[in-house]
Amino acid sequence: MADFLEVLTHGRRLKAQLKNLSVSELREVIVKMQVIADEFEEEEKAEQEANAERLAKIEAIRKQLAEDGIALEELGAVTEKTSRKKRAPRPPKYEIMVDGERITWTGQGRTPKAIKERLDAGASLEDFLIKKS
């Protein structure tokens, strides 16, 4: 894509690429490019009009707020999102003893290395379940 743009924006390179086209083919390319340019201009104009409308609405709202004596800073207090509460940590579901150390795992997230090694060796996950008493 960068090569294409480089050719299009450099006069001599563009001329070299187009030299094999007939005049009618070249005019056809020009017409197609003009159509694309016109479409881009229309899109840009529509975007500018929409942006102008949006800015006008924002200004109208600002004026209304000023008339009602409401500061923009006050709106921030109303629109602040409430922070999500963290859920309680899950209790461990699996355990393994390695060198006198108890390693636990909830069953979510990364499997502890010691449990993974035993699973790879053929053990079942049920072998590590914490028995409820």
DSSP string, 57-90: HHHHHHHHHHHHT--HHHHHHHHPPPPPPPPPPP
- Rounded to an integer, the average pLDDT of 90-107 is 92
Q: How confident is the model at residue 71 (pLDDT cuts 50, 70, 90)?
A: confident
Which pLDDT score, from 0 to 100, does residue 123 have?
Answer: 92
**Separation CA 89–CA 98 (nearest Å):** 23
Break the chain into its structural domains and give their ranges.
Answer: 2-77, 94-128
Given a cut of 80, is residue 81 above it in pLDDT? no
Residue 54's pLDDT is: 92
Q: What is the pLDDT of residue 11?
A: 84
Q: How confident is the model at residue 49 (pLDDT cuts 50, 70, 90)?
A: very high
pLDDT on residue 85 = 83
